[in-house]
Chain A
């Protein structure tokens, strides 16, 4: 029983991170029908920005909580700005071009960010300070649950709930949903579509930066190729839940984390990824639009 609960918490922690990152993919896809392949790298860029503040301010006398808060704020601001630049430079000029051009531009942006991280911070493994958060561990029915895990799960749930409320219960959220359904009609209704898209490129990368920084704080290491790994998992989570669908991305992320934990824990650690992705294929065969996706109903 303890082992089972432990695996659930293992899965939920990493699933929450996947979900936060997956939201960026799904929102951009929702309004633009574009897979933003640079998203994973933006998230890890967030981890590096936060790391720079944390290591730079080490020994400044501020408490761990203050430093962390500052790191999150800085990462969110920098990565949201980077998201806006990405949209203006790499995607907006290609808005009317065919889809493939935008995808290639996204792949190019991904490589650009990844290599920039390598050139700025170097190719080595970077280690996060370990004393920022209390090392408290709770034992629940034989399972060990740490403070960091609880913080990540709670913060992910809160952020996702806030996003859900924003999209469904504010005027701007309504504008985003309208843009997702039909850009031209939304424009006719007086919605400033470019502003909506820019907002999406602020919210997605900002959530991604938080996810990236969670990765750094949870595992205490960051290196420049990490964006690809996390981007891939989060992208799959978005597809699993139904790309373009916000609750779907949340569900997909959490399920992917749980699948992975159960595959490694109960079936075979060497086949862990193969089993996870076989399950993904099986779900997509039954529901081609993902778990919560609906055919052709443009949603965010």
Chain B
């Protein structure tokens, strides 16, 4: 995946208004259960932050319509951290003071990291799409990352190539960028872990266009699949030149190949290429995800901004389920339940959490580029 950047340091004008928006509280005998949202509602990541807030409000509204949680209504409290660590710490204290059970957010790793020790000290659950390794390395029991860790793509790819498609002779091709070589090396490591066979790791010079020499070499090694970890502009051309050389190996590309230009550049050779990436929200294959995206669109008139809206929704859905299962909001019981989830059916795929709060089970899919440039998900197989 293309890493999200942590937000920069607070700027001079960071005098903040933290909008405390309190959700619709229906009068109820029992006191409400409060959920917090800490997200960049303004600033460069506003789109993503507002997506998280909308998703949480939608889930709360749906739960309340079903009679609430343990017979109590859910209230949502939102704090705008602007994606900045300094503001994130202020938000964390405000939400702790508002007596929330759990906090959804933040979008950036930096903001999540700044708030993390405050939630841990107050025993408030935190679920965020932050993927920085530091978030899970601190060992806080309250941390539940809802996006797949950075290594997930390589693990998924290796499993797809070796176990799902049963390729016997895998050629790995990369450019010299740190992103692409890093991904290629991880994929090779993971292929070895599942006892796959890499026949060759080869390089192209990005933008050099003339890939036929390398491809001719690879063709002579007779691979049954070529995996390319670089970017779409070269990936599309590699696909076209494979066809030109009469190379009949399958093509599987890393996430940076997903771009509308890939199919245009590959031309007649585009159809049948496979790309591994996290799907856009509307392309998620699971029925629950389709329902959620439809509900979201009906309520807000637009699609969720990215798949991270849905991974955060997954974090909240798991916590809702934990509260129902443990019949209470006792933090230790909830943490224990969440650390021992078995195959939770998320909107972004089946997942669980390890004891460090890292998500296991990735939202990655392998999709096939169609002749017209559209995508068709091949694996995991879409539910009917």
Contacts and interface: CB of A to CB of B under 8 A. Distances in A.
A130 B268 contact: yes
Interface residues of B, number: 28
B246 interface: yes
A146 B268 contact: no
A229 B207 contact: yes
B178 interface: no
Given A219-B209, A264-B214, A127 B246 contact: no
A221 B210 contact: no
Interface string A215-231: 10001110101100100
Interface string B238-258: 001000111000000000000
B228 to A, nearest CB: 13
Interface in B258-289: 261, 264-265, 267-268
Nearest to A135: B268
Given A130-B267, A144-B244, A273-B205, A221 B214 contact: no
Interface residues of A, number: 35
Nearest to B203: A270
A221 B237 contact: yes
A221 B209 contact: yes
Given A3-B217, A269-B204, A261 B265 contact: no
Contacts of A135: 268
B233 A269 contact: no
B121 to A, nearest CB: 48
B22 interface: no
B270 to A, nearest CB: 10
Contact of A3 (B209, B219, B261): B219
B301 interface: no
B208 interface: yes
A144 B213 contact: no
Interface in B186-230: 202-205, 207-210, 212-214, 216-217, 219-220
Contact of A220 (B216, B219, B240): B240
Interface of B: 176, 202-205, 207-210, 212-214, 216-217, 219-220, 233, 236-237, 240, 244-246, 261, 264-265, 267-268
20 contacts: A6-B212, A6-B219, A11-B213, A125-B265, A127-B264, A127-B265, A130-B268, A137-B244, A144-B245, A144-B246, A220-B237, A221-B209, A223-B233, A225-B207, A261-B212, A261-B216, A269-B217, A270-B176, A270-B203, A273-B205
User: Lowest 5 CB-CB distances: which A-B pairs, in order?
Assistant: A264-B213, A130-B267, A270-B203, A144-B246, A261-B213
Interface of A: 3, 6-7, 10-11, 13-14, 124-125, 127, 130, 135, 137, 139, 144, 146, 215, 219-221, 223, 225-226, 229, 260-266, 269-270, 272-273
